[in-house]
Structure 1
């Protein structure tokens, strides 16, 4: 038995013990006590929306609610707000009435001040979530991010216990879509005061206002439980009493747990997904996300030179990567903005399809650019390039492919791999301690600006230190012309073309999630853009 298989079997035994309380009695569960089991691929680092990233969003998306939520048609609908609001004052003011029956999991009412407190925390330049930039466009947010104003100056005001007003610096036609994102969830003002620095570090150190509350997470454990929130205003519509969530990074483990009826929804990839194509329980979900190599452009780093980044991009055989390594329906990516994110209303084409570069895979040109770049950067000897990434199996497999492909194509290049837990690599990347980071950008909402906003010079997601005045100017012009569709989408296309030329992020492949789903597990809403919604899920007999 191989080492991988042995480790997988040991993990299955451990996971099975954890899951037994949820799954062994599934056949005898009554209608009011349904329990399901799902998984995520990465560790949960925090439950503080102001200081947590991807997995934090996944967890809170099913246990918190903001002003709006996204329905099965991918459209915003009211959640804590009583209706979809139309802007006033030249499309720069939104005034929301909040549900008076919305409560936190301790029984306190959800108030406008809870939104004000949360947004002020999240917009601080020191917020660890990295999502402060997404507040750009709300009045004074850019000045706050630049350190020129205080968080209290943000254009969000409580006009009463259940009335919230938001003012913008300029019209934002996608503003209502933003209001469904976890970044704009409220935080209990009393919980922030009560728990202080402990807020969100364990599941017991915060309150929840959504369909479920999170329990059994101690800040480091690889599992937690969503339990039905008795104070949720629409609790009669919630069918599941509990959902067990486990961190599983290996597809073999996920597959085995699914076959043992220990998981109702298992994410798989690579060889496992390839071998199960055609399985009646397999669902492939095309997501609006792009896996990339984010280059560190700081002086002294091997990819600070533009031609060397262009060479790397041209040297990668993405078709072989997606067909032979991933084999899960993933498709090659040649642009930062993924397909399936948005349709250009002017050209009537998928935005990710209409902005493709002319050259995609050209080893001869890659070698030429590589040598020119090395000469410009005064690099005479071997170039050492470290690929950083998470320690899950598929990230390692992709890194191994890139290591082989790049070293074979480009002379005097030595590629090493560094795969560590998500928390470790995230800290290193935010501190600038990396050469190239293998990561994913998943669109937050259905507009290419969701990708473009991460590449501006002042973006808190710009970990590669990309500083391009031309791109920044195009981004600013797009915001200025946001209400003119023809100009807005023309500027978006120019921004994508600029990224194609300067290559701060090397696209690898577009995201496809392969799920093995229990045929009795119904009601999950899967969003091409955004996070899966398990809140109305249920089990049939």
Structure 2
């Protein structure tokens, strides 16, 4: 009953607080992070910005915490990068504050009777930031580039619904077999493998953005960070980027609806220390911060109207490398999973209204008329306390009675005050409850991510925020060929279930297949769920018109400043 009550509570929270553009003190759902990820401490970059907008100057400065790994739609993976890309690029459709899809670069579209062929009509006034028209060929080049194995796009699987995409990035077919073609310069036809209920949401995702062939081929490795070559088609364009310091975007005068952009400049800064970022916010040096020190949350909730706990559709978890001892043994993985007290973590450590996680897919996603998490159950994980006796028994069965003989292993996490506090709490629980020693190692973000992806870890911090509002966005990351399958887990039955669910047009039947897939990964315990995210953040009340979706996307194309004082 506790689990159901918590799940229902989160659903209500998601419904009533879905968007935080102007309201303050809203109640929830990457806390976080995943991926307002953090970098190693470098004193120079933690200095507050020296440029200070005055009064109602239309400039907003937002601390994004960490530099984006890339802002190339086919290379970027972090939420921070996605926030920037959603403002400088535009796909066929664009997500609004109600999580619906508005016309974007396409002004209209239609589909055939079984919804397997979609025809998009591009705006004749859609232009790139250099004034050249956006054409159907720009989308074709971008999508083919995304699934081309040579690109190594980690989100290539996002194009799975498009005809032949999976076979192409798996090396079975050439890129020209992708189900996309130009009827004429302004008409794009997309053929799907099967009807996909959430296809419009996918069309708004960065992997589906257009890119310019001529621009990329001139400077394929670094085109996106150079304002001279960063040619984009969104409401903003890149003006300046200094690593570890600031990334500035300004209005794109060639955008088809440039009049709706009110800001003269949007500055993203990268102050890695949450405490330094908060100090800069409270001093008025920045207008918003994407993460706050968890120890400050009670104070901010009590007396700061600029504090927001935003909904966030995601799961904070640790992943095990199932190819490395001692985590080749599922009993060890299950023992460590059951030996932690999730309720203690969210009530004494994270403090941001998070919910203990008992499965992988978070609550709040409705499929086939029911909440996917509530229908899927809790996989024997107690959300309110550690299951010490069960954990000890499993560890003994694995050959480590009372932790004897257990090898010293390392938990890696990306540099962050908050990640460190969570890791230390769990380290202590494992020592107390299982008598095992786990070392902690923090790594700078750009080093941590490739290490995790390449399997260079035994246990690693992780988090996943939905790319769209459907369980599939949480499950297909563990496909054998997925670039996001960090546990290095390969299961043919899981793969077959996921692909079958993607082909299934009946939502209830698709949900059944996805439940079976989640059952497999949780029975194998390839991940250790910790909590379901919320997003504690700050934004000055004089910043109006912006919005953030529960998927972590932030939009500033209608933002403006009103009422700022010196």
Q: TM-score, normalised by structure 2?
A: 0.87
Give the total of aligned pairs: 517
Distance 1:325 1:417 in 2: 17
Does 1:59 find its partner at 2:87? no
Q: 2:133 aligns with which of 87, 109, 114?
A: 109
Question: Counterpart of 1:323 in 2: which secondary structure?
Answer: helix
Comparing 172-181 and 379-388, the one that deviates more: 379-388
Note the C-alpha offset of 1:321: 1.0
Match of 1:47 in 2: 71
Q: 1:296 aligns with which of 321, 324, 336?
A: 321
Note the C-alpha offset of 1:252: 1.0
Match of 1:336 in 2: 360
Distance 1:303 1:274 in 2: 37
Distance 1:105 1:479 in 2: 36
Note the C-alpha offset of 1:89: 6.3
Question: Counterpart of 2:554 in 1: which secondary structure?
Answer: coil
Distance 1:355 1:76 in 2: 31
Q: 1:511 aligns with which of 533, 542, 553?
A: 533
User: CA 1:51–1:283 in 2, change beyond 3 Å: closer, same or farther?
Assistant: same
Does 1:35 find its partner at 2:59? yes
Match of 1:3 in 2: none
Does 1:357 find its partner at 2:389? no
Comparing 431-440 and 464-473, the one that deviates more: 464-473
Distance 2:117 2:406 in 1: 56
Match of 2:497 in 1: 474
Distance 1:450 1:352 in 2: 17
Contact 2:161–2:196 under 8 Å retained in 1? yes
Q: 1:531 aligns with which of 546, 553, 564?
A: 553
Distance 2:42 2:204 in 1: 40
Which runs of structure 2 are paired with 1:359-508 in the superposition (5 Å)? 359-360=381-382, 361-374=386-399, 381-411=405-435, 413-481=436-504, 483-508=505-530
Unaligned runs of 5+ in 1: 1-6
Match of 1:82 in 2: 107
Does 1:26 find its partner at 2:54? yes
Contact 2:230–2:238 under 8 Å retained in 1? no
Q: 1:194 aligns with which of 190, 199, 218?
A: 218
User: CA 1:532–1:201 in 2, change beyond 3 Å: closer, same or farther?
Assistant: closer
Contact 2:372–2:471 under 8 Å retained in 1? no
Which runs of structure 2 are paired with 1:9-408 in the superposition (5 Å)? 15-16=47-48, 19-21=49-51, 23=52, 25-27=53-55, 29=57, 34-54=58-78, 55-83=80-108, 85-88=109-112, 90-218=114-242, 220-266=243-289, 267-278=291-302, 279-298=304-323, 300-340=324-364, 342-347=365-370, 349=371, 351=373, 354-360=376-382, 361-374=386-399, 381-408=405-432
Note the C-alpha offset of 1:403: 1.5
Which deviations, in whole Å up to 9, do the C-alpha atoms of 1:47-93 show, x marking residues without a partner?
2111221132221111111011111111111100112x343263221
User: CA 1:287–1:367 in 2, change beyond 3 Å: closer, same or farther?
Assistant: same
Note the C-alpha offset of 1:238: 0.7
Contact 2:316–2:462 under 8 Å retained in 1? yes
Note the C-alpha offset of 1:178: 0.3
Which one has more relative contact order, counting CA pairs under 8 Å at least 6 apart?
A: 2
Which deviations, in whole Å up to 9, do the C-alpha atoms of 1:104-160 show, x marking residues without a partner?
111111111111111111112343441111111211111112211122222121222
Distance 1:229 1:193 in 2: 23
Question: Counterpart of 1:511 in 2: which secondary structure?
Answer: strand
Question: Counterpart of 1:27 in 2: which secondary structure?
Answer: coil
